[in-house]
Amino acid sequence: MNDRALGHEGETLRSSSWMPRASLRVGVTGHRLERLGAGNAVALAPAIHDVLAAVARAARGSFPDAPSFRLVTALADGADSIVADRAIAHGWALDVVLP
């Protein structure tokens, strides 16, 4: 059995030392914009920023390599899209659930 594999950019890795990269997914759902209210939507953005930053800090401290971060959302107009905008600003990827 071959105990070597090609890694990123062709470097040789030993299969016994290879570890998959962790991925953290956070799901979000919330009110639509008309129910949320414009004032609440504006107030949410900084709080969402703080929560996503705290989640990322905690996760980075828990894994030897930085995990990938993904937001799972239906991307509805309102809370879903507000959180998605903040997640993208933090470098997170989106997993969009289709109805």
CA distance 93 to 90: 9
Top-confidence residue, 38 or 49: 49
Quickly state the pLDDT bin for 93 (edges 50, 70, 90).
Answer: very high
Give residue 52's pLDDT. Answer: 95
- Tokens representing 59 are 């996760």
Which of 10-14, 20-24, 64-68, 82-86 is most confident? 82-86
Is 50 in contact with 58 (CB distance < 8 Å)? no
Give residue 83's pLDDT. Answer: 94
Interhelix angle 38-60/79-89, nearest 10 degrees: 40
Please tell me the total count of domains within the chain: 1
Mean pLDDT of 74-90: 92
Residue 13 lies in a domain: no
> How far, rounded to the nearest angstrom, does the alpha carbon of residue 9 sit from its chain's CA centroid?
25
Residue 56, domain extent: 22-96
Residue 91 lies in a domain: yes
Quickly state the pLDDT bin for 8 (edges 50, 70, 90).
Answer: low
Residue 31 lies in a domain: yes
DSSP 91: T
- Tokens representing 63 are 């894994």
Mean pLDDT of 23-47: 86
Residue 3 lies in a domain: no
**Has this prediction a pTM greater than 0.75?**
no
